[in-house]
């Protein structure tokens, strides 16, 4: 079995450029099916989820060429409106194709998406929103069939500010007749990035990044060149890696404005974070201090995707810390693995209390999902001895060449067969 072997106890030092954001690139690639001509998307990370997305696009009839981190997509002659089930199941983000394909062709057939097992993750808000735009939806034999001769603008109030639903509905509304207003929209930076891309192509999306998004329908989008924003979750992960190894690293291609609350929590733990333009330096001297309390919530609150890396940090802090996971009900699967490495964590429903220990010890642990896997790498970097992290494929969904990324900062980490 392929796993990551990590020899702990080495401070991270040096410089790393952060790659483009997975969670921005995926909806942007899906939106490219609405464009006429060849789209050029830059800084697309080479990740498993991106490969699945490009496989789907090719399967539907688009031409996709990759040159380093630049993807060229021409979906002008796209024919199929049905995403094969085995590809839908490979990741959650396959659902992003629903809005754009329906908007362009008046029909789309998908099945329930797959993805990390961090909670039930229904898609009811996506479907209700599309119905509000005039789509008829039939669910049969595990497939979802959506039809609409032309979508019509509508007022949609999301019960939860879902990132994916906000993005799907913005994309669907771009070709709808009239005006769509999405209330209680999610405000994550990746949504603003998607809207910027759509607007560059000729869409009229206002307010993305705020809780009310207004979309005036247009008839046509023209392909453009567009650069994806830096990955704030990868940035946050590397910042915690510096803190947990008492290191000193410089990160390039970052956006500190997307990480306000995260930077505050790192400073609370004792890290010195300095920002100059798109460069961030993170330095930690001595053992981390405990963090009083972290509650994951929607942006601009503390991101659920960084909850597990922060739990690693708190596991070795000099005192007691508390975390509440309020977004996904199943996002504590790293806890049992951190305990195997000596962490003292008690979980009561959605709240975890961590009594920091002086040292973690290397062990063989299993990544249950993407960010849980990242948290276990960080634990391995800080631990005494060697850690083996199994199920690397989860980590490959979100961190490009993960061992090279940490290796560049002096970590002793290898991909091995065990």
Ligand X SMILES: C=C(OP(=O)(O)O)C(=O)O
Any idea which residue has 């085995």 for tokens? 86
Candidate ranges 115-123, 141-149, 243-251, 267-275; the one touching ligand X (CB under 6 A): 115-123
Looking only at the bridges linking them, the beta strands covering 35-36 and 221-222 are parallel
Min dist CB 45 to ligand UD1, Å, is 13
Per rule CB under 6 A, is residue 6 in the interface with ligand UD1? no
Q: How far is CA 14 from the centre of its chain?
A: 25
Please identify which residue in 93, 196, 307, 308 interacts with ligand UD1, judged by CB under 6 A.
Answer: 93
One of 116, 191, 242, 306 is an active-site residue; which one? 116
Per rule CB under 6 A, is residue 60 in the interface with ligand X? no
Q: Is 361 exposed, middle or buried (0-12, 13-18, 19+ CB in 10 A)?
A: middle
Per rule CB under 6 A, is residue 52 in the interface with ligand UD1? no
Min dist CB 235 to ligand UD1, Å, is 14
Select from ligand UD1, ligand X, none the partner in contact with residue 388, using the beta carbon and a kind-dependent cut-off of 5 to 8 Å. none
Candidate ranges 13-21, 70-78, 113-121, 220-228; the one touching ligand X (CB under 6 A): 113-121
Query: Which tokens belong to 46?
Result: 């080479």
Per rule CB under 6 A, is residue 124 in the interface with ligand UD1? yes
Min dist CB 184 to ligand UD1, Å, is 11
92 is in an annotated binding site: yes
Measured from the CB atom, the residue of 122 and 142 that comes closer to ligand UD1 is 122
Per rule CB under 6 A, is residue 163 in the interface with ligand UD1? yes
Select from ligand X, ligand UD1, none the partner in contact with residue 398, using the beta carbon and a kind-dependent cut-off of 5 to 8 Å. ligand X
3 an active-site residue? no
Q: CA torsion, points 61, 63, 52, 240, in degrees to nearest 10?
A: -150
327 is in an annotated binding site: yes
Please identify which residue in 172, 208, 323, 370 interacts with ligand X, judged by CB under 6 A.
Answer: 370
Candidate ranges 121-129, 172-180, 258-266, 372-380; the one touching ligand UD1 (CB under 6 A): 121-129
Per rule CB under 6 A, is residue 190 in the interface with ligand X? no
Select from ligand X, ligand UD1, none the partner in contact with residue 290, using the beta carbon and a kind-dependent cut-off of 5 to 8 Å. none
Residues that bind ligand UD1 (CB under 6 A): 23, 26, 92-93, 119-126, 160, 162-165, 186, 190, 304-305, 327-328
Q: Which residues are catalytic?
A: 116
């Amino acid at each position: 079995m392929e796993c990551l072997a990590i020899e702990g106890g080495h401070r991270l030092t040096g410089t790393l450029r952060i790659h483009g954001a997975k969670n921005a690139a995926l909806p942007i690639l899906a939106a490219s099916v609405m464009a006429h001509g060849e789209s050029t998307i830059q800084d697309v990370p080479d990740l498993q989820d991106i490969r699945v997305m490009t496989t789907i696009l090719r399967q539907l009839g688009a031409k996709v060429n990759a040159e380093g981190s630049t993807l060229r997509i021409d979906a002008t002659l796209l024919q199929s409106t049905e995403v094969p089930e085995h590809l839908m199941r490979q990741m959650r983000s396959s659902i992003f194709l629903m809005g754009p394909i329906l908007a362009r062709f008046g029909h789309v057939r998908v099945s329930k998406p797959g993805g990390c097992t961090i909670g039930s993750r229904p898609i009811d808000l996506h479907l209700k929103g599309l119905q509000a735009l005039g789509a008829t939806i039939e669910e049969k034999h595990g497939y979802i069939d959506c039809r609409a001769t032309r979508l019509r603008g509508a007022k949609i109030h999301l019960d939860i500010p879902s990132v994916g639903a906000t993005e799907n509905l913005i994309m669907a509304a771009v070709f709808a007749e009239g005006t769509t207003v999405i209330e209680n929209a999610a405000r994550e930076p990746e949504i603003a990035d998607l809207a910027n891309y759509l607007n560059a192509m000729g869409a009229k999306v206002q307010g993305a990044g705020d809780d009310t998004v207004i979309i005036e329908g247009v008839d046509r989008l023209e392909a453009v060149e567009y650069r994806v924003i830096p990955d704030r979750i990868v940035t946050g992960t590397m910042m915690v890696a510096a803190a947990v190894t008492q290191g000193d690293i410089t990160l390039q291609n970052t956006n500190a404005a997307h990480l306000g609350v995260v930077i505050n929590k790192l400073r609370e733990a004792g890290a010195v974070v300095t920002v100059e333009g798109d460069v961030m330096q993170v330095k930690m001297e001595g053992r981390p201090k405990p963090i009083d309390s972290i509650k994951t919530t929607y942006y601009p609150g503390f991101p659920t995707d960084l909850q597990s890396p922060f739990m690693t940090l708190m596991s070795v802090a000099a005192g007691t810390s508390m975390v509440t996971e309020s977004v996904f009900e199943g996002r504590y699967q790293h806890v049992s693995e951190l305990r195997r490495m000596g962490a003292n964590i008690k979980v009561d429903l959605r709240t975890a209390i961590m009594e920091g220990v002086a040292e973690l010890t290397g062990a063989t642990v299993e990544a249950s999902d993407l960010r849980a896997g990242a948290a276990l790498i960080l634990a391995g970097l800080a631990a005494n001895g060697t850690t083996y992290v199994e199920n690397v494929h989860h980590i490959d969904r979100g961190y490009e060449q993960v061992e090279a990324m940490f290796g560049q900062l002096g970590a002793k980490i290898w991909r091995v067969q065990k």
